[in-house]
Amino acid sequence: MKFQINPNTSLNQNLVIIPVLEDHLASILELKLKRTIKPNLFSGKKNSTFILESEDQTFLLIGLGKNPSYSDISHSFRRILSKNSEWVESGIKIDFADEFSSEMAESALVGLQLGTYSLAFFKKEQSKSYDDLEVSIYSGLVDLEKVLKRATKIAKAKIEAFKMVDLPPNVLTPEYLANWAKEKAKNSAIQTIVFDEEKAEKEGLKAFLAVGRGSAKPSRFIILEYRHSAAKFHLGLVGKGVTFDTGGLNIKTAGMVHMKSDMGGAAAVLAATQLIADLELPINLTTIVPAVENSVDKDAYLPSEVIGSHAGLSIEVIDTDAEGRLILADGLSYMVQNYSPDQLIDFATLTGSSVGTFGYECGALFANEESFSKEIQDASMAAGEKVWPLPLWEAYRSEMDSEVADIKNYHGKPIAGAITAAKFLEAFTHGHTKWAHLDIAGVAFGDTEFSKTKSGTAFGVGLLLKFIENQL
């Protein structure tokens, strides 16, 4: 897209977009269109639209309701190109009312750019390109240029997260993620370190290596370091990077076709790392992604095996489909032991139990410090990427007791699955006092209005940005 801010001359742009707040409908229409519209036809209600035509322009009125959230506005603007691209012939003009704040304009511009994303990676006929689409923005905001630059960086990061989750597993492999991370190190303040399997063995990442044993695609332990000279705090992120999950020898009996999405946690933390570096936020950030494929062959790890871990704890493998917590265990332990971040958060598409509890509306939040939990939850609500707390009571720890090892990876019961998984992870945090685990199994990938099949949501990117900036 080619953006212009408050251009002096009128450009040949056939689609004029006017976002409308419900309480300000009359004044906006009188000012922008010099006319009125009957309230029973259009009143500015949330998710409503109204089209007016002149001789050479189409006016698209987008109703946002009375108090739209960031995600409400973003979704409304994403629909323009994602679902109605035929409306655009020569260009777009966006006319923001005076009531539009910088944050509202940002969410609109993020959404408009997200609308260019398509799943048609491998179609013979590629989807429409918007690289040369001219977009004029009219607004009285004094910081509009800054808003546009920031919105473009946010949209770019979210599209990266979309793409990572949506690419097929023969393309999106552990090596692909490692190369993606290395590429980031070429053009930004990010330093990338990648352990191959030999190096991971020397580092004692035994649980991580066990999961990838059955795959022809080699595992990669990925570390990204972003440092700022005026850092306010050090944040550690760990993302589950299972690029495809067959379930291992406890093979999945349903839904395996969607298991390319089992690296939604990795996508969230990698894209967020890119965004934090692009925005030059004053924090220190360390991101770890243990990337593996959980497959089946003669070398695959077995139910009832006892494996080691970076933390020195032995683990009895009850179920090879509880693999995500094994690679996260080594990721968390390595993070704490080698980087000692002030705050530690992991993202993972971890359990069906979290979906059973919250459906596809929000993720499950576990945190070992109440104010830390509240900060994450508040950020999630503001970003429109909701999480809700569940307990980490010590009573659940005994569910993971093993007769033969220090801990088992699955309690084998159809109850409290998300909680017991969180208690398992807690055992590998070395008593870190500000740790949170976000189980995003129901929200990282799913049915949306923007594609005909399940697709990535970039869940976690906006949450992390809001969480960080709330502390600056």
Residues that are catalytic: 252, 325
Look up residue 165 and give its two tokens. 């989750």
Look up residue 218 and give its two tokens. 């080699």
- Is residue 274 within 8 A of residue 162, CB to CB? The reply is no
Q: Reduce the secondary structure of 415-447 to three states and give it as a string.
A: CCHHHHHHHHHHCCCCCCCCEEEEECCCCCEEC
- Is residue 294 within 8 A of residue 242, CB to CB? The reply is yes
Q: ∠ CA 197-202-205 to the nearest 5 degrees? A: 65
Beta-strand (E) ranges in 196-283?
Answer: 220-226, 234-239, 241-245
Residue 186 contacts by C-beta under 8 Å, 6 or more apart in sequence? none
- Is residue 42 within 8 A of residue 69, CB to CB? The reply is no
Amino acid at 131: D
* Helices and strands (H, E) in the chain, number of each type: 13, 20
- Is residue 140 within 8 A of residue 233, CB to CB? The reply is no
CA dist 264 and 361 (Å) reads 16
CA dist 340 and 343 (Å) reads 9
Query: Following CA atoms 104, 108, 111, 112 in sequence, which dihedral angle do they give, to the nearest 10 degrees?
Result: -170
DSSP assignment of 56-111 equals S-EEEEEE--SS--HHHHHHHHHHHHHH-GGG-SS-EEEE--TT--HHHHHHHHHH
Exposed/middle/buried for 8, CB within 10 Å: 0-12, 13-18, 19+? exposed
Q: Please, what is the end-to-end C-alpha distance for the chain in angstroms?
A: 31
DSSP assignment of 369-418 equals SHHHHHHHHHHHHHHT--EEE----GGGGGGG--SSSSEES----SSSHH
Beta pairing, strands 435-439 & 363-367: antiparallel
- Is residue 173 within 8 A of residue 242, CB to CB? The reply is no
